[in-house]
Structure 1
Amino acid sequence: MDRQIRRAAVIGSGVMGASIAAHLANIGIPSLLLDIVPAQLTDEEIANQLSLESKQVRNRFASQAINKLKKTNPSPLFDRDLVALISPGNIEDDLDKVKEVDWIIEVIVENLEIKQQFYKKLESVWVNGTIVSTNTSGISVNEMVKDLPDSFKNHFLGTHFFNPPRYMKLLEVIPGEKTLPEVSSFMKDFCEKKLGKGVVVAKDTPNFIANRIGTFGLLVTLNEMLEKGFSVEEVDAVTGPLLGRPKSATFRTLDLVGIDTFIHVATNVSEKVNNRSEQQIFEVPKLLKQMVVNGWIGEKAGKGFYQKVEKETRKEILSLDVTTLQYKRQNKVVGSSLESAKLVKGPERKLKALLAGQDRYSELAWNILKKVLLYSAEKLGEIADSIIEIDQAMRWGFNWSLGPFETWDAIGLKSSVAKMEDEGLVVPEWVKEWIDAGNNSFYLKENGFTYYSSKGKYRLVDSVPEVISLKALKEQNKVILSNNGASLIDLEDGIACLEFHSPNNAIGADILMMIEQSIEEVRRNFNGLIIANQGRNFCVGANLMMLLMEAQDEEWDEVDHIIKMFQNTMLHLKQFEKPVVTAPHRMTLGGGVEVCLPGDQVVASAETYYGLVETGVGLIPAGGGCKEYVSRISESASEQLTDIQPLVNKLFETIGMAKVSTSALDAQKLGYLRKSDLIVTNSDHVIYEAKQAALRLVDRYVPQKNERIHVVGKEGKAIMKLGAYQMKLGGYISDHDQLIVNKLAHVLAGGDVPAGTLVSEQYLLDLEREAFLSLCGEPKTQQRMQYMLTKGKPLRN
């Protein structure tokens, strides 16, 4: 059956239900959001003379949830206007409307009996073949529908989103006993390709994969703290990035999740498992129960393991003393193992350095880690079929740098197992048999291919065509050219990929040199070029430290040379006679945007935060950013015979205020991306889609030519400068801000030429460079650059 999901229905408009509906809207799928009918009128409804029979009252919960989506920050929507794709309703009046949808997602209260009652009601209006899923975080999928017909069970499964659905990568698919394989396969494919999720297939066991192991790890950590007398801040110092975990570590994570929610998840396991020792592990400590009684349930209550308090001139975060149950000032945590781990880079090396220590913090790390590793090994086969699914679930769902089995490899499988056995711990038989067979790790990498331990053998990790790993290609000797800043990699099929790998992917001379060399190499031996990487961020701009040092030394010829080199390289990229596709993701700022602009097409990850932010450091874009956007305005206005001044005014505001998009879709709305640029929801598929875009361009490619650009001239500049003056009078910008944006207005207007003058690209590039150089010499600009480098945020001086 050729399935498609065109419309959906979400049942339950709480935080998760509404956010799932929002993410469906993100990919263009309209949904019906249903909830129960209120039992009482609000004061406002009474004042408006409404009754319990009024439609807006009956739809109140869903309508309120939809309105809240517009105000939530960070936004669950790529663009707040997408909220129009969600329609409110209620279960009593509108349940039969699910006949018109292709997917029904239940997100009601986590109570088995209530869910069972709902599914009996739903089945009476359900159309055979419609997929139904539950978003439960741990209740048995099979138990929910045990009394329903097989036809319903065939199309029923679990789809466990992690919160918030837009941003969290993990989605657990949990097939039921009777779920048709083609239904599970379709949902896995849909959630990966359309929703952009990392999907793992889990067994129908309490809390599935990620929450089972994650909850175990948190309880082990909590018990270790209580037994050994560690403080909250000591535990978080150990169990954050040094252990390969997020900065929120253990107790900030618990505060974010909600201690009441965590207790519910832990209790679900203790009540459902049959093994008495496992039940005891998941029993909730008295400390957590007392905190719930006190109302200290985390961030949503204003206090949990941490409390933010307002002092006279600042905010302070206090930590809970778990012995006295009083909040106190945090003590600085210092230890030789912690300091050693901080000095090295990479999660594997940090972890090894931490465990190699000889203090109480390295002991704490080992005591937590060994139990999590052993538990993960014990649960293989019960909660998931492979170590890959367990590792992916923990990386994607709990933001661990390494999954349990990847961690085991990193610290040394044989040596760590030997240490565990010396300490009297029971190691699962399959792990000992694996080591006895002569294996030193759970994963094996050879010639760029990865193998994993499965039923006593190494098996090749299945390749996914849409997932292109630059790291794997480099291990397969696909590197064509390379220097410290970038590498050119053969993607096959006549397409090469230029990858940045400088610190923070900042653009310096080495990257610019590699772009020029890549152009020559592709000209001789390839059909097209894509510019992409798989770093944390695509590119946060030019090398600001180098620029500041040259400016402080007043090496103006050198600054001029650097900017001219950048401009010329971007111009060569734009005029290259073969297709160029750029593929940004996450932070793409300043020079990162300017690298994307010369390309024939942008293929962006949906989570791309894109913007020309140079005014924040006292400068203006000078790598062709101003020129390229003015050129685009000129071209579009010429085609539509419209006045370009309003469009230039909007550009002036966008660049002058250093606006950064909240998504790739928002970047289109701001005018940074064109409507013809592509947006890819799954970040792992971006390079594949960029390659496909380049291949499509090859046969019909027409190189870009030198352009003549219409500008608004001195009259248009006056309009922009007037706007800046009014903002200064209103107190919105400083004197230095006004100086910066006046220079920006000069560039965007094309200088002091008459309105409507046609100018060359080089003319505008020269204006950019002149303005940039003059601002580099300003003491307040240098202060802004210094502040950004030391504080990581803009200075408004």
Structure 2
Amino acid sequence: MTATITKAAVIGSGVMGASIAAHLANVGISTLLLDLVPAKPTPEEEAKGHSTLHPVVRNRLATQAISRLAKIKPSPLYDDAFASRIAPGNLEDDLGRIAEVDWVIEVIVENLEAKRDLLGKIENHWRSGIIVTSNTSGISINAMAEGRSEAFKSHFLGTHFFNPPRYMKLLEIIPGETTDSGIVRRISAFGERKLGKGVVIAKDTPNFIANRIGTYGLLVTLQAMERHGYTVDEVDAATGPALGRPKSATFRTLDLVGLDTFVHVANNVYDKANDEAEKAVFAPSPLLREMVARGWIGEKAGQGFYKKIRGEQGSEILSLDLKTMAYVKGKKPAGASLEAAKTAKGARAKTKALLGAKDRYSELAWEVLSATLLYAAEKVGEIADSAYDIDRAMRWGFNWELGPFELWDAIGLAKSVERMEAEGRSVPAWVKEWIAAGNDSFYRRSEGSTSYVYQGRFKTEEQAPERISLRDLKERGRTIAGNSGASLVDVGDGVACLEFHSPNNAIGADILTMIQKSVDEVRANHDALLIANEGRNFCVGANLMLLLMEAQDEEWDEVDAIIRMFQDTMMKLKRFEKPVVAAPHRMTLGGGVEVCLPADEVCAHAETYYGLVEVGVGLIPAGGGCKEMARRISRANPNPEVDLQPHLNAAFLNIGMAKVSTSAHDAKRLGYFREQDRVVANQDHLIYEAKQSALRLVQAGYEAQREEKIRVVGRDGAAVMKLGAYDMRRGGYISDHDLLIAGKLAHVLAGGNVPAGTLVTEQYLLDLEREAFLSLCGEPKTQLRMQHMLGKGKALRN
């Protein structure tokens, strides 16, 4: 179903259109980006003799949009080189080229008449089979399609990407009244499998699902604030992580979205809603109108509900005092409910703790949450078929940890409805009927499936084979072995998965012990081993606290034993006679990278931020990271006449500057991934895809990696790297301590004090790593770096 979409056209090269084109390019889709022809040449174009007939002028808008992609932060591209997959054009000369593509996406101004006019022009060049979609955030799909042929309308639907398209998971798909169901299935499968999206089917209603519920929630929060006199800081304290929402909470979210954009979205519902109570909530806010009139529209204007100012002591964030309309220094709110939520673990527990302590913050949270829950319940059937669809849209589109109905289950369905009714709130009839029928939740789980409310009954959704959940497998008794740091889980077909679950998935003796135990277990009873987990990050490195404590106590034998255990465990993985596949995602740093390096194949999520960053804490990689980079460079250049120095210099710079990839594709560019390593767009499919890699290796007749000698550049090569570091020190780019670390790193990567071209063993390089690591642990400045990282969460460059 997905293979047929290989070429696309995006019409509209604004920020959103260009970013959608970029994400299509990210996944290998050749994309045509079209926009209007400029009215006249720029002075620079005129100076070159270009008129409005010249392609440079005619394609300028799209060309400039493509060139800007590399400057946008965070980048819309996995790799800047992928911009070459996007071809610029214009609507007058190139619209006919859409006949060559499989998918056309309209991303022009949010104006119904403009969109209708464009669709008419598209149909003039359309051929049967081409999917045409609109990226509208709220205009009716059916209204847009008026006047088009039945054949065209059967291929037309809405595909609402959330901004920024690369990073936001939600893709709302909005079929029209006559959209072919096969087209809906096709674009849904493509969105999930190829683009890595969480796909939700929405009804053709104002603002669809996520923006409808999310806008309502933000507006009722603003109204509660004005009614009861809460400050901006108080509202954000009660409506952020304490309520299972992002740190941006309410007002930082509004600043990020832009108050002008938000007002437009709210007005879209206000103009179309028939219910007076609903219209009252979406009615234009005098406060927001005033702020938009002043130009205080959020981050893009430098001020909104918050304003950053820079002073001699650094930058400071001020918040808006709504009484005086002046920016003031914020006060950190404190209260029993906020403290209770802070100490609770997980969104369910945090929300219950926040609501359970009766103070002004819990009252605000209850007022906002209860209103949002009731509104979401009213909209089941109108904006989406099920509570499940609304929950997924809010989790994926607004980054809520739990959707409205999941939260309702968490705080107690019957008990919360009883409170709502006691307060005189109107509870939708279907919710009361649901409770009366003996149901105490909107969800129930059973083996391999989730049941959820759908039109007044539970609908069971079998878990798709591409979605392997370690949590579900463990609940079903599939844990083979485990300790406090890791578990080995049977994922079927002779494959076992090692899952880290220590705090931050940091590697300590518990994880290393489980790796060794897993190798022994898989050797005896399974065919292959995966290393994957479902944590927020794959692994942020080694247990730094333990290392610091041993170093401060000068327990050098203990430090040596820790590093030997790490090295020996990684070599056990590397020499294992059965396939090992690692599946990293998001932050994979230091020791996390070193766990992946011995694997036969890496199957990484596209959003994997990968790097050997030990220099940031005053150390060098010593779990095989340096050794493995030197080995790979030697292996890739078997001809002894080939100069290894340029390749070693690049690895030296990556490690010495603690470079972290901006994506899995960028990790390939940095040399951390090999040709056989794969990138997966959808994180929900990552463990499944890693399992398929392991099974392929098994079926191919896997042979264990053998011991091999490594060609090194020796003392002369080390001198070249050290000279480069010395030049950086002279230029003020690194400190004296950085220079010391760089010297030890160069010594290890070069293979020590031997002649260039010497062949050395892996163990020899591991011994060099460990020696350098131990000596750096004794440095006071390294210990300061370790302390700073543990206390502040960021590197100290002393």
Give yes or no for TM over 0.5.
yes
CA distance in 1, matches of 2:428, 2:44: 61
Structure 1, unmatched stretches of 5+, are none
* Shift in Å, 1:330: 1.1
Partner of 1:719: 720
1:96-107 equivalences under 5 Å are: 96-107=96-107
Residue 321 of structure 2 is aligned to residue 321 of structure 1: yes
SS of alignment partner, residue 673 of structure 1:
coil
1:17-61, CA deviations, whole angstroms, 9 ceiling, x for partnerless residues? 000000011011111111112224433334444323322222121
SS of alignment partner, residue 93 of structure 1:
coil
Residue 431 of structure 2 is aligned to residue 431 of structure 1: yes
Partner of 2:166: 166
Whichever residue aligns with residue 70 of structure 1, its letter is: A
SS of alignment partner, residue 480 of structure 1:
strand
Partner of 1:80: 80
* Cα pair 1:571 1:598 within 8 Å, conserved: yes
Partner of 2:277: 277
CA distance in 2, matches of 1:706, 1:755: 21
Partner of 1:770: 771
SS of alignment partner, residue 92 of structure 1:
coil
CA distance in 2, matches of 1:579, 1:487: 18
SS of alignment partner, residue 458 of structure 2:
strand
CA distance in 1, matches of 2:238, 2:382: 30
CA distance in 2, matches of 1:461, 1:148: 36
Whichever residue aligns with residue 156 of structure 2, its letter is: F
Whichever residue aligns with residue 531 of structure 1, its letter is: I
CA distance in 1, matches of 2:499, 2:690: 13
* Residues 367 and 748 of structure 1, relative CA distance in 2, 3 Å threshold: same
Whichever residue aligns with residue 166 of structure 1, its letter is: R
* Cα pair 1:448 1:475 within 8 Å, conserved: no
Residue 503 of structure 2 is aligned to residue 503 of structure 1: yes
* Cα pair 2:500 2:511 within 8 Å, conserved: yes
* Cα pair 1:448 1:474 within 8 Å, conserved: no
* Shift in Å, 1:158: 0.4
* Cα pair 1:267 1:283 within 8 Å, conserved: yes
SS of alignment partner, residue 66 of structure 1:
helix
Whichever residue aligns with residue 757 of structure 2, its letter is: G
* Residues 166 and 80 of structure 1, relative CA distance in 2, 3 Å threshold: same
* Cα pair 1:449 1:472 within 8 Å, conserved: no
1:605-627, CA deviations, whole angstroms, 9 ceiling, x for partnerless residues? 00000000001111000001111
SS of alignment partner, residue 124 of structure 1:
helix
CA distance in 2, matches of 1:245, 1:389: 18
SS of alignment partner, residue 164 of structure 1:
coil
Residue 27 of structure 2 is aligned to residue 27 of structure 1: yes
Partner of 1:587: 587
* Shift in Å, 1:636: 1.1
* Cα pair 1:236 1:251 within 8 Å, conserved: yes
Whichever residue aligns with residue 474 of structure 1, its letter is: K
Partner of 1:446: 446
* Shift in Å, 1:94: 1.1
Partner of 1:151: 151
Partner of 1:731: 732
* Shift in Å, 1:720: 1.1
More moved, 334-343 vs 617-626:
334-343
* Cα pair 1:11 1:108 within 8 Å, conserved: yes
* Cα pair 2:59 2:89 within 8 Å, conserved: yes
1:374-418, CA deviations, whole angstroms, 9 ceiling, x for partnerless residues? 010010001111111100000000000100000000100010000
CA distance in 2, matches of 1:613, 1:128: 52
* Shift in Å, 1:593: 0.3
1:411-430 equivalences under 5 Å are: 411-430=411-430
Whichever residue aligns with residue 476 of structure 1, its letter is: R
More moved, 673-682 vs 58-67:
58-67
Partner of 2:551: 551
* Residues 792 and 737 of structure 1, relative CA distance in 2, 3 Å threshold: same
More moved, 146-155 vs 37-46:
37-46
Partner of 2:567: 567
* Shift in Å, 1:359: 0.9
Partner of 1:13: 13
SS of alignment partner, residue 34 of structure 1:
strand
Partner of 2:475: 475
Partner of 1:748: 749
CA distance in 2, matches of 1:140, 1:462: 32
Partner of 1:486: 486
* Cα pair 1:530 1:690 within 8 Å, conserved: yes
* Cα pair 2:370 2:420 within 8 Å, conserved: yes
* Residues 709 and 568 of structure 1, relative CA distance in 2, 3 Å threshold: same
Whichever residue aligns with residue 401 of structure 1, its letter is: E
1:238-257 equivalences under 5 Å are: 238-257=238-257
* Shift in Å, 1:640: 8.8
* Cα pair 2:449 2:463 within 8 Å, conserved: no
Partner of 2:787: 786
Q: Aligned-residue CA RMSD in angstroms?
A: 1.2
* Shift in Å, 1:278: 1.4
Partner of 2:371: 371
Partner of 2:390: 390
CA distance in 2, matches of 1:210, 1:534: 25
SS of alignment partner, residue 310 of structure 1:
strand
1:620-658, CA deviations, whole angstroms, 9 ceiling, x for partnerless residues? 000011111111111111169622222111111111111
Partner of 2:680: 680
More moved, 181-190 vs 645-654:
645-654
1:583-620, CA deviations, whole angstroms, 9 ceiling, x for partnerless residues? 00000000000000111000000000000000111100
Partner of 1:618: 618
CA distance in 2, matches of 1:715, 1:316: 49
Whichever residue aligns with residue 388 of structure 1, its letter is: Y
CA distance in 2, matches of 1:484, 1:449: 28
* Cα pair 2:388 2:453 within 8 Å, conserved: no
Whichever residue aligns with residue 558 of structure 2, its letter is: E
SS of alignment partner, residue 784 of structure 1:
helix
CA distance in 1, matches of 2:512, 2:314: 44
CA distance in 2, matches of 1:85, 1:744: 38
Partner of 1:43: 43
CA distance in 2, matches of 1:218, 1:33: 34
More moved, 216-225 vs 640-649:
640-649
1:296-315 equivalences under 5 Å are: 296-315=296-315
Whichever residue aligns with residue 777 of structure 1, its letter is: G
Partner of 2:649: 649
CA distance in 1, matches of 2:355, 2:254: 24
1:181-196 equivalences under 5 Å are: 181-196=181-196
* Residues 423 and 292 of structure 1, relative CA distance in 2, 3 Å threshold: same
Residue 368 of structure 2 is aligned to residue 360 of structure 1: no
1:455-498, CA deviations, whole angstroms, 9 ceiling, x for partnerless residues? 33333223111111111111111000010000000001000000
TM-score, reference length from structure 2: 0.99
1:698-709 equivalences under 5 Å are: 698-699=698-699, 700-709=701-710
SS of alignment partner, residue 768 of structure 1:
helix
Structure 2, unmatched stretches of 5+, are none
* Cα pair 2:40 2:51 within 8 Å, conserved: no
* Cα pair 1:161 1:172 within 8 Å, conserved: yes
* Shift in Å, 1:429: 1.0
Number of equivalences? 797
Whichever residue aligns with residue 606 of structure 1, its letter is: A
CA distance in 1, matches of 2:393, 2:256: 19
1:332-371 equivalences under 5 Å are: 332-371=332-371
Partner of 2:136: 136
CA distance in 1, matches of 2:176, 2:455: 24
* Shift in Å, 1:301: 0.7
* Cα pair 1:34 1:62 within 8 Å, conserved: yes
* Cα pair 2:2 2:194 within 8 Å, conserved: no
SS of alignment partner, residue 638 of structure 1:
coil
CA distance in 1, matches of 2:33, 2:456: 47
SS of alignment partner, residue 353 of structure 2:
helix
SS of alignment partner, residue 512 of structure 1:
helix
* Shift in Å, 1:446: 3.5
Partner of 2:659: 659
CA distance in 2, matches of 1:677, 1:514: 24
More moved, 91-100 vs 548-557:
91-100
* Cα pair 1:76 1:165 within 8 Å, conserved: yes
CA distance in 1, matches of 2:571, 2:521: 17
CA distance in 1, matches of 2:677, 2:596: 11
1:686-732, CA deviations, whole angstroms, 9 ceiling, x for partnerless residues? 10000000000013201011221111111111111111111111111
